[in-house]
Amino acid sequence: MITVLFPSDKPFSEKLYFAFLQLLNLFSVECTCHKKGCLIFYGWYKRKVKLPSGPLLLSVQRVRCKECGKTHALLPSVLVPYSQVSLKDQLDILILAEDLQSPETVMDRNPLIDENNVKHIIRQYKKHWQERLRSIGLTLSDDLVIPCMAAFSRQFMQIHRTPNILFALPT
């Protein structure tokens, strides 16, 4: 999996994702085998995302490495691998839980998120991420994408140990 650094200050949409892909120079993206210039576009898969504006069925771009043969998804950093709930909504839920406040504001803003989603997110955080963040001196109010990728090779709240690398467009 390749997590592409994405602006978190803009509302996420498929149109914004496709615009990003148009700017992407695939020859500058490194595979998890650490080779550059060997990735080719290799199709799409559908991914459901629970957004406040309604459910989004996102077409996620896949790439394949000509060197090692592995396939990877180009997943924007505003999404959590293997989750339908966005990173922002997960962070908002966790911050409210740490402050012992009700997550109803998040559920009101995004009616697709229910109490089961909230309980699952809090349980996964406590089981997999709470101690990891403490170990590197971070809190939920910090920007977590880059430090978690650097320290753990995973997007924050990514539970599966799928190899994941971070890619940012050159500025």
Compute the CA torsion angle 149, 166, 9, 124 (nearest 10 deg): -40
Question: What are 160's two structure tokens?
Answer: 């599966």
50 is a domain residue: yes
| Residue 48 · residue 55 · CB < 8 Å | yes
Number of domains, the chain? 1
pLDDT digit string, tens, across residues 84-143: 999 999 999 999 999 999 999 999 999 999 999 999 999 999 999 999 999 999 999 999
In a domain, 63, yes or no: yes
Inside any domain, residue 121: no
Query: Can you give the residue range of the structural domain that contains 53?
Result: 2-77+160-167
Residue 25 included in any domain: yes
Q: Is the pTM of this model over 0.85?
A: yes
Q: Does a structural domain hold residue 71? A: yes
119 located within any domain: no
